[in-house]
Amino acid sequence: MNLSVGRRSAGRWGSPRASGAERGGGWAQTTHRAAAAIALAALTAGCTSAVEGPDPAEKPAAGTLRILASSELVDMKPVLDQVHKDTGITVRPTYIGTLDAVDLLAKGRAKDAYDAVWLSSNDYLRLDPAAAKQVVSQTPVMSSPLAIGVKDATVRKLGWKPEDVTWADIEKAVRDGGLTYGMTDPSRSNSGFSTLVSVASGLSDAQSALTDADVKEATPRLTDFFKGQKLTSGSSGWLAEAYDRRGDVDALLNYESVLKSRKDLTVIRPRDGVVTADYPLSSLASTSQQVREDVRRLTEALRAPGTQRLITDRTLRRPVVPSVPPAAGLDTTRRRELPFPGSRSVADGLLDAYENKLRRPSRTVYVLDTSGSMGEDGRLGRLKKALTALTGDFREREEVTLMPFGSAVKSVRTHVVRPEDPRSGLDAIRRDTRALSAEGDTAIYTSLQKAYEHLGADDDTFTSIVLMTDGENTEGASPAEFDGFYGRLSADERRIPVFPILFGDSDRGELEHIAELTGGRLFDAQKGSLDGAFKEIRGYQ
């Protein structure tokens, strides 16, 4: 791709990454359904835009382990509570997307702040020498293969026998218009990248680790396959919410454990193989011998037969101890394990192809509060800095509209990052960003109405609205008037989510309502950074 498209040109592992979070399922007290509900509630309650880990200067009490953990491991809380009772070891997890954790490790930011890393997979980590040298003693704790969960009615319509379905069958169903699906963003989420690797391996008939030639050979078929993707997300929890809200998407691609927590899907592991998460627990190389001994004891406790049974029954992941059978309902038929890319360049190339050629392009309106209050405390400067940095994250073919507002919408400027000349579009966005000025009151709802009117319905793109405001609505349409306006939109227009950013003195309740009404998600830049909030939203666009 053209080197002017900032972050993408630098390579997947050598560049900034959004702090996206992948959350699958939720922790349960009694049932898997309750587990999912709790996790989804946590997602809709908002999130921070940067990892809020422990203070490196704060030394934990003896027997306490600070663990950087993949976000979907939030459902392991009851298991860790039991391990604490058995061993006295207390786990203090900081949840983060798997790919983002690799970034922290590679940059040396996990040293002294954490004692161990517990990711869905260490495959990414092994491709980055700077990250790999930060960890030792990698021991798998459980596993969950990638799978596709398909509506029962769709399985019947396609005439599929779940045990016989291949990636080629799935591609044909998509190409023939009989299957649409949602998946998480591969550049933020391990389940998303595992999906990308599985599909590329399956459709290229690769017999070993993917090569650049395999990716090139599979590109025409991959292009057809990704025409069926109707939903993208930075987290498994929001993906499930969006899937339920839409109702017209046929399937979800995610880990088997996430899909099995739902009762409305037939879960299929393609016969020609998938990538599997094995959740290794790894000590950091910078830790003391005593800390490593505590990590070893924790690992042993997690791999004990009784704990393995608890893990598989509670989370629907598979035990790694042969003597413990998987939970009831988990298919025990053997499947080929598809190899991960053998080099960083192949992984980068696969991601680059997905983001800039294979997936549907993005179309986003940024509704930006530039009222008078944005001139206070350097807020406008922070907005300009965040937007300018974000231009390095925009994909080829992406349409970006800047809609600054005060007492009313001040301007509507749309730019496209064209593959033949991406620099022109990016430079234009930067120029418009530099020209932003702070004046006027705050017409949030009137401006959102203008954004919906500008977008209309477009089923060929991932379409969304990002709302950044530092205050409450003081001008124009009221919340009730906006609710009425939204209710009169067409069904396709109501599928356009708003992702509000909590910033400055903005009203959490007001923004939560907008996110809930439109099927979006609230991002918190009051606790984290504005840069981080904008970048985290990228996983949902």
Residue ranges of domains in the chain, CATH in brackets: 6-143+278-319 (3.40.190.10), 144-276+335-354 (3.40.190.10), 360-540 (3.40.50.410)
In this model, does residue 356 exceed pLDDT 90?
A: yes
What DSSP string runs through 214-267? Answer: HHHHHHHHHHHHHTTEEEEESSHHHHHHHHHHH----EEEEEHHHHHT-SSEEE
Question: How far is 363 from 458, CA to CA, in rounded Å?
Answer: 9
In this model, does residue 534 exceed pLDDT 50?
A: yes
In this model, does residue 30 exceed pLDDT 50?
A: no
Confidence at residue 56, expressed as pLDDT on a 0 to 100 scale = 58
- Cβ-Cβ contacts under 8 Å for 280 (sequence gap 6 or more): 118, 119, 121, 122, 138, 139, 140, 141
Confidence at residue 50, expressed as pLDDT on a 0 to 100 scale = 42
Q: Confidence class of residue 54 from pLDDT cuts 50, 70 and 90?
A: low
The token duo for 131 is: 């990250």
The token duo for 304 is: 């004990």
The token duo for 110 is: 């996990």
In this model, does residue 430 exceed pLDDT 90?
A: yes
In this model, does residue 457 exceed pLDDT 70?
A: yes
Confidence at residue 263, expressed as pLDDT on a 0 to 100 scale = 92
- For the ranges 114-118, 157-161, 532-536, the lowest mean pLDDT is seen at 532-536
Longest dimension (CA), the chain: 68
Q: Confidence class of residue 99 from pLDDT cuts 50, 70 and 90?
A: confident
* CB neighbours of residue 283 within 10 Å: 26
- Tell me the average pLDDT across 142-168: 97
Q: Which residue has the higher pLDDT, 203 or 23?
A: 203
Confidence at residue 53, expressed as pLDDT on a 0 to 100 scale = 60
Query: Cα angle vertex 470, ends 467, 475, to 5°?
Result: 80
Confidence at residue 58, expressed as pLDDT on a 0 to 100 scale = 64
Question: How far is 278 from 300, CA to CA, in rounded Å?
Answer: 15
Confidence at residue 62, expressed as pLDDT on a 0 to 100 scale = 76
Question: How far is 280 from 137, CA to CA, in rounded Å?
Answer: 9
Confidence at residue 39, expressed as pLDDT on a 0 to 100 scale = 34
Question: How far is 376 from 431, CA to CA, in rounded Å?
Answer: 22
Instruction: Report the chain's mean pLDDT, rounded to a whole number.
Output: 88
- Tell me the average pLDDT across 474-488: 97
Q: Which residue has the higher pLDDT, 349 or 57?
A: 349
Confidence at residue 52, expressed as pLDDT on a 0 to 100 scale = 53
Confidence at residue 48, expressed as pLDDT on a 0 to 100 scale = 36
| 3-state DSSP assignment of residue 130 | helix
Q: Which residue has the higher pLDDT, 6 or 291?
A: 291
- For the ranges 11-20, 106-115, 220-229, the lowest mean pLDDT is seen at 11-20
In this model, does residue 215 exceed pLDDT 70?
A: yes
Confidence at residue 124, expressed as pLDDT on a 0 to 100 scale = 80
| 3-state DSSP assignment of residue 420 | coil
On whether the CB atoms of residues 405 and 367 are closer than 8 A, the answer is yes
pLDDT digits (tens, 9 = 90+) for 160-194: 999 999 999 999 999 999 999 999 999 888 899 99
Total-model pTM:
0.86
Nearest to 400 by CA among 430, 356, 355, 363: 363
Question: How far is 252 from 20, CA to CA, in rounded Å?
Answer: 19
Confidence at residue 342, expressed as pLDDT on a 0 to 100 scale = 82
Confidence at residue 2, expressed as pLDDT on a 0 to 100 scale = 33
- Cβ-Cβ contacts under 8 Å for 262 (sequence gap 6 or more): 36, 149, 240
In this model, does residue 384 exceed pLDDT 60?
A: yes
Q: Confidence class of residue 59 from pLDDT cuts 50, 70 and 90?
A: low
Q: Confidence class of residue 35 from pLDDT cuts 50, 70 and 90?
A: very low
- For residue 113, the number of C-alpha atoms closer than 13 Å in the C-beta half-sphere is 16
In percent, the amount of the chain with pLDDT more than 90 equals: 77
Amino acid found at 40 = L
Question: How far is 409 from 441, CA to CA, in rounded Å?
Answer: 11
In this model, does residue 27 exceed pLDDT 60?
A: no
On whether the CB atoms of residues 136 and 54 are closer than 8 A, the answer is no
Question: How far is 244 from 282, CA to CA, in rounded Å?
Answer: 36
- Tell me the average pLDDT across 332-353: 89
In percent, the amount of the chain with pLDDT more than 70 equals: 89
In this model, does residue 26 exceed pLDDT 80?
A: no
- Tell me the average pLDDT across 69-74: 90
